[in-house]
Amino acid sequence: MNFTTRFHQVRYAETDQMRFVHHSNYVKYFEMSRIEWLDALGVSYAQMEREGLLMPVVSVAMTFKKPLHFGDSFKVKVSLKKPPLATLEFDYAITNQAEEEICTGSTVLAFITAEKNKAVRCPKIILDQFT
């Protein structure tokens, strides 16, 4: 299942001394796109947390192609690699306002209980989106 965010604008605080978006912010952009993806599915991550289900990132990878700068606009395409089981595996592609590819990446998130940090299977509310 693919989802593309609306355009976002790079804020000054996200840039570094080289006037590029600092590499750590791309992980935040990935997270932002995952939350928007869940929202588009009608799933509230905040509600899942209140119910004791957490989704920590267990793996992240990124490849940078071009920098983003202060004032640039960008969007994130997020794709679920395969139907979820005990993990969610995503691919990302960030493009700027000129549709140039800026960064690609991937993450793996696990489902765990907040109470015991025990791994669990994907919740029904997400699985139902794939049946």
Q: List domains and CATH numbers for the chain.
A: 2-130 (3.10.129.10)
Task: Of 58, 82, 102, 84, give the one whose Cα is nearest residue 92.
Answer: 102
For range 10-28, the mean pLDDT: 96
pLDDT over threshold 90, residue 1: no
**In whole angstroms, what is the distance from residue 89 CA to residue 51 CA?**
22
pLDDT band (50, 70, 90) for residue 131: low
Say if residues 103 and 94 touch (Cβ distance below 8 Å). Answer: yes
For range 75-94, the mean pLDDT: 95
Say if residues 8 and 70 touch (Cβ distance below 8 Å). Answer: no
Instruction: Give tens-digit pLDDT for 27-80.
Output: 999 999 999 999 998 999 999 999 999 999 999 999 999 999 999 999 999 999
- Whole-number percent of the chain with pLDDT over 90: 89
